Every structure is written in C-alpha cells, then in structure tokens.
Amino acid sequence: MGLPGPELTDGLRDLIRRVQPGGFIFFTRNMAEASQFHELVRECAGLLDHPGIMTVDQEGGRVSRLAVMGERPPSGEDLARAAKDEWFHEHGKLTGRLMSLVGLNLDLAPVLDFAPRERAGIDNSLAGRCFGENPKEVVRRAGEFLRGMQEEGVKGTGKHFPGYTFCGIDPHGDLPLVSRTRQQIEKEELEVFREMGNRCDAIMVGHAQFPAWGENSGPASLNRDIVTGLLKETMGYRGLVMTDDLEMGAIANRYGSAEASRQAIRAGEEIVLICHNPACVEIARDALVEMPEKDWGGAVERVKAFSQKLNPPPEKFDLQNWSQVNEEIAGLRRRVSRSTT
C-alpha cells in the first residue's frame, strides 16, 4: 500500500494494524528529509506482525524518488549512452547502499524494456528509463545493476512483463494495445525476461493488452494465461510476482479496486500494488478475504517466504553515510555526463 503523506495519522495506523499489508511503497510525498523518512519506514514496519516489504521506484534519472532528499542518479538512457557496463554495477551498488540507509529492502527496478531508436519520442512512460536499444544490451546492463544492488542487500524487481516497449500510450492514463504477434514478442521482449527472470527477486506485470493472447485478453496483469501460463509455467519463473499500480488509468478506468485485486490474484500474482488511496487498500483486502482460501492461500505463503529474506530497517539513521553515498552518486552522474557530451 501507498501512504498519503510524510506522517501517519491515528486512522492510518489503525488501518495498517487491521489490514496487515504485505508492505509499503513510498513516493516523494512521503519524504520531507532523510531522517524523517527513515523514521516513517521504521514506524510502518513496526505496525506489521510480519517482516514488511519496503519498496520504492529508484531507477535513476526522472524516476528516482529518493532524489528529493539527496542527489539524482544518472538515468538508464544516460548510462546506456556512456556504454560502460561497470558504471551500471556501480549504479546498482550505490542504489542499494542508499536504500538500505533509510530501511528500504526492495527496489522496483531494473526496467527490462528496451528503447529502439525508431520509437524515440513515443509517450509510453519509458522515456529515459531503458538500459539499451535492444534486448542484449538490456540483459547485460540490467544484470550488472541488479548484481550491484543485491550485493548491498537490496532486492530487485524486473519490469514491465511481458513488455512496455511497443506500447503506444502511457498506461498511467489508459490501457495500451500492443499489436505484436507471439513470435515477435517471444523473439524480442521475452528474450530479456528469459535471461533476467530468475536473477530478479520479483517481476512486475504491466498493464497493457496483448491481442496475441486473445482479442479480449484484457490487461496482462489480470490475465492468467500471461501471468501463470507464460511467466510461471512456460518460462519457469519462481520469484515473487506483482502487479503494476492498480490505480493507474489502464486499470482504474475499467475496474474498481475489489474486482482488479480479485482478478490479479486469480491470474497468479502474489502482490497487488495500490499506491495512492488507503481506502482502496481496505476495499481490496475485504474483497480478497471473501474469496476461497485456495485462491489466495498460496500467494500469502509465498509473500511470507519472500519477506523472511528481507533486511529490516536499521534502528538508527546514519547521516554521515547518507551524505557520503549521495556524494558518490553525484560523482557518478558527473562522470556519465562528461562521457556523453
């Protein structure tokens, strides 16, 4: 679940204790400064009766939530132009160190979509975020980023399965239609997920419709043939599977929180992301409780197993280390900038 601001209210505390979410996703609206944010993460973790997933979108470039409290890392596109694989590894290590200091244990990164030159300028949410122009570049560089981050104790999420590369519109606004054949998708988009899948701790399934799985297949995130049939059974993925935010226009324009959550769990996801409205979290939880336990019991057990491997938030905030890591991030950004100008 997401939270509306930098502090919890008594009402939110009661909701969290009652609902017991699998964890929390944080945004810049939750961050006033680093020590405050660390305390918020710790308080959220303390309200759960299980280890919590504490996550954020910290990719680099414009999708760098923690930059509101420090330095902005280079974007995936800037790193790709620099074409130094060791910098992707360094970026991953710095990301892991930074996140750990404020108690975050799962990054919603790396982006595993690619950015062909001929699709430059299309507003499909990916501008500046991709690690390369083709699948092979993304596999190599995302692997380095992920390795660096995992070395620092932070887990990584590959996104957006089965691929946003050929979306024509931004799914934050409405549902994209990806008119690609299965053969095309298998050859390109899925190449990255085949190579990277089980190196990622989690996979995020995107909100796009793929007629290759049926004219009325609906969003991939709610489609059992894609989530369970393709990702888990055909491709053999064994990690955690989550939806993209169910409050994005691609979903919210068509489904309420209750129905979207039911469909996501039936499709095979273990985590549903509801990033903005806490009331929707309770609606979703109540809808899932009404389902037969056979529909959600396995998901709960997999989330529990995943959570046992997560690092808890540190008891104290280390300002000196925070400042040091941010200086190193600024240094990496300057090196990348010099190499591409």
Q: Give the tokens for residue 238.
A: 């064994």
CA dist., res. 134 & res. 23, Å (int):
34
Q: What is residue 83's predicted lDDT score, i.e. its pLDDT?
A: 92
Q: What is residue 177's predicted lDDT score, i.e. its pLDDT?
A: 93
Query: Does pLDDT of 120 surpass 80?
Result: no
Q: How confident is the model at residue 207 (pLDDT cuts 50, 70, 90)?
A: very high
Pairing of strands 63-64, 58-60: antiparallel
Position of tokens 């017991």? 20
DSSP letters along 118-172, please? GGTT--SS-TTT-S-SSHHHHHHHHHHHHHHHHHTT-EEEEEEET-STT-SS-TT
Position of tokens 């369970």? 228
End-to-end CA distance of the chain: 41
* pLDDT tens track for 315-340: 999 999 999 999 999 999 999 999 98
**Distances from the Cα of 302 to the Cα of 270, 297, 321, angstroms:** 7, 9, 34
What phi and psi, each to the nearest 5 degrees, are found at residue 231?
-70, -50
The class that CATH gives domain 10-327 is alpha beta
CA dist., res. 26 & res. 2, Å (int):
6
In this prediction, what percent of the chain has a pLDDT beyond 90?
A: 95
Q: What is residue 341's predicted lDDT score, i.e. its pLDDT?
A: 78
Q: Where are the domains of the chain?
A: 10-327
Q: What is residue 118's predicted lDDT score, i.e. its pLDDT?
A: 80
Q: How confident is the model at residue 124 (pLDDT cuts 50, 70, 90)?
A: confident
Q: How confident is the model at residue 295 (pLDDT cuts 50, 70, 90)?
A: very high
Q: Whole-structure pTM over 0.95, yes or no?
A: yes
Q: What is residue 58's three-state secondary structure?
A: strand
Under a CB-based contact definition with an 8 Å cutoff, are residues 282 and 10 in contact? Answer: no
* pLDDT tens track for 86-113: 999 999 999 999 999 999 999 999 999 9
* Mean pLDDT value across the chain: 96
With 0-12 CB in 10 A as exposed, 13-18 as middle and 19+ as buried, what is 195?
Answer: middle
DSSP letters along 210-241, please? -GGG-TT--BGGG-HIIIIIIIIIIS---SEE
Under a CB-based contact definition with an 8 Å cutoff, are residues 306 and 238 in contact? Answer: no
Query: Does pLDDT of 121 surpass 90?
Result: no
Percent composition of the chain: helix, strand, coil (DSSP 3-state, to 5): 50, 10, 40
Q: What is residue 93's predicted lDDT score, i.e. its pLDDT?
A: 98
Under a CB-based contact definition with an 8 Å cutoff, are residues 125 and 73 in contact? Answer: no
Query: Does pLDDT of 220 surpass 80?
Result: yes
Q: What is residue 261's predicted lDDT score, i.e. its pLDDT?
A: 98
Pairing of strands 202-205, 155-161: parallel
